[in-house]
Amino acid sequence: MASIDMVNIVKRYGDGFPAVNDVSIDVQDGEFMILVGPSGCGKSTLLRMIVGLEDITSGDMVIGDRLVNDLAPRDRNLAMVFQNYALYPHLSVYENIAFPLRLAKAPDAEVDEKVRAAAKTLELEEHLERKPGNLSGGQRQRVAMGRAIVREADAFLFDEPLSNLDAKLRGQMRTEIARLQKRLGITTVYVTHDQTEAMTLGHRVAVLKRGVLQQLATPRELYEQP
């Protein structure tokens, strides 16, 4: 696990107004940080720069004690959890979770140990032989997180993971994500435009507007502001 320190991050696409303008956010080891703001405020750009899918125009991105500005995404050891979970429909839950270990050619005994440990944490032990198509949304979310856990990623990154769900399921998933993050204690950055998610999920909330960091505070501090 690791902290994620964004220091004076600037991103310009072309020569227009910066999409991200001198943003500094210190995500502590184990912290659940929310990035919130209206569409176009620069949240996704910031998340993509953490993962390494987008170059930084200026500033520093530090993960743990490593400056990662020039590191490829695969060398950053972060796990992006996608909105559609990106599960393989033809593979069992077991093989979906095992996937990164298979790619790394891990021995079967190690794969088995790690997959079963993750399944235990995520309460998926009884579903290991099932296919993702037969699972609930919450179970699929947990399989996606299981894949991140076996990789021993330093942090989870979520980009609006619940935006396509109906209100009821969204509420359930919110609870589930908060519970799992707390149980796993893994550094998490979560992008949303939803005020309720912003105020209920995280330890702290970073509010962005037109590329500028407006506020960085706990939900309580945000509530209590005049």
Q: Which residues bind ligand ADP (CB under 6 A)?
A: 13, 19, 28-31, 37, 39-45, 182, 203-204, 218
23 or 41: CB nearest ligand ADP: 41
Residues 6 or more apart whose Cβ sits within 8 Å of residue 94: 115, 119, 128, 129
Q: Cα–chain-centroid distance for residue 202? A: 12
Nearer to ligand ADP, 42 or 161 (CB): 42
Q: Least separation, in Å, of the C-beta of 123 and ligand ADP?
A: 19
Measured from the CB of residue 109, what is the shortest distance to ligand ADP in angstroms? 32
Find the shortest distance in angstroms from Cβ 108 to ligand ADP.
Answer: 35
Burial of 205 (0-12, 13-18, 19+ CB in 10 A): buried
Q: Of the two residues 12 and 66, which places its CB atom closer to ligand ADP in the complex? A: 12
Q: Which residues contact 88 (CB under 8 A, 6 or more apart)?
A: 95, 96, 99, 132
Measured distance CA(17)–CA(222) in Å, rounded: 28
Nearer to ligand ADP, 143 or 155 (CB): 155
54 or 139: CB nearest ligand ADP: 54
* Cβ atoms < 10 Å from Cβ of 223: 9
Helical ranges in the chain per DSSP H:
43-51, 93-103, 108-121, 137-150, 167-184, 195-201, 219-224
CB of 66 to ligand ADP, least distance (A): 19
| Minimum gap (Å) between residue 219 Cβ and ligand ADP | 9
